[in-house]
Amino acid sequence: MDSATSDTRTPLGPQADNGLKIVVVGGFGVGKTTLVRSVSEIRPLSTEETMTQAGATVDDVSGVREKSATTVAFDFGRITLDARNVLYLFGAPGQERFWFLWDRLFTGTLGAVVLLDTRRIDDSWYAIDRLERHGMPFIVACNDFGGPRHTPSEVRAALDLDPHIPLMDCDARSRESGKHVLITLVEHVRRLSAAPAPTAEQELV
């Protein structure tokens, strides 16, 4: 499995002057930190802290008993697209007590990836609701935790997901899979930006 973070730091060229921002959101323990780590060309900035018994009384850990650390602010990674364009990745914390940080992370964002654990679909409702309220383009990626398989139509129905929003499977540990997720999001944003604006009559329908 191709994952893990390289210790080699890739220097950013002086001509890189266009930064694009993507946020990875989702429930607690769905693999957001892992996804950022797997695709970043630099050692990501991570704000993971060891989980303690005190946190167990605040966070719902029923679905992530094996989790030993958690993000308490955000994760940050980087991908150089070409000489002038750089993609910045921000992984948002999943616990409810840190949701107040999301609005700041959403500022200036090109789009978002909603990472989903299909064993705990309800945990992604808040992320989707917040993105829709912000009018932000997003896709949904089902991270592979080895649980029961669900058809795309079942997942769409459970999330009440609009048909035009891309839904895909992924493995957050895999660099290639993570890159495919980001490419899917960028292509989705491009399609939305190229679509003609609705007329006043269409908006009233």
Higher local confidence (pLDDT), 204 or 130: 130
Least confident among 25-39, 62-76, 158-172, 179-193: 62-76
Whether residue 91 contacts residue 74, with contact meaning beta carbons closer than 8 Å, is answered with: yes
Its pTM surpasses 0.85: no
Is pLDDT of 62 > 60?
Answer: no
> Letter for the amino acid at 82?
D
The Cβ-side half-sphere exposure at 104, using a 13 Å CA radius, reads 8
Can you tell me the distance from the alpha carbon of 79 to that of 22, in angstroms, rounded to the nearest whole number? Answer: 11
Q: What is the pLDDT of residues 144-188, one digit of tens each?
A: 888 778 899 999 999 999 999 999 999 999 999 999 999 999 999
Dihedral of CA 181/184/185/186: which sign? Answer: positive
| Residue 147, pLDDT score | 73
- Mean pLDDT over all residues of the chain? 79
Structure tokens at 137: 């383009």
pLDDT surpasses 80 at 58? no
Provide the pLDDT confidence category of residue 200 given band limits of 50, 70 and 90: low
pLDDT (tens digit per residue) in 86-141 = 899 998 886 666 666 777 778 889 999 999 999 889 988 888 998 998 899 999 99
The reported pLDDT for the residue numbered 40 is 93
pLDDT of residue 98: 64
The number of beta carbons lying within 10 Å of the beta carbon of residue 108 is: 10
Distances (CA, A) of 6 to 17, 38, 42, 116, 175: 24, 9, 7, 26, 12
pLDDT attached to residue 204: 52
Q: Please check whether residue 1 is in contact with residue 38, taking contact to mean a CB–CB distance below 8 angstroms.
A: no
CA–CA distance, 109 with 112 (Å, rounded to integer): 8
Q: DSSP letter for 5, please.
A: -
* Both structure tokens of 159: 């999330």
| CB 86 within 8 Å of CB 80 | yes
Lookup: tokens for 90: 């921000």
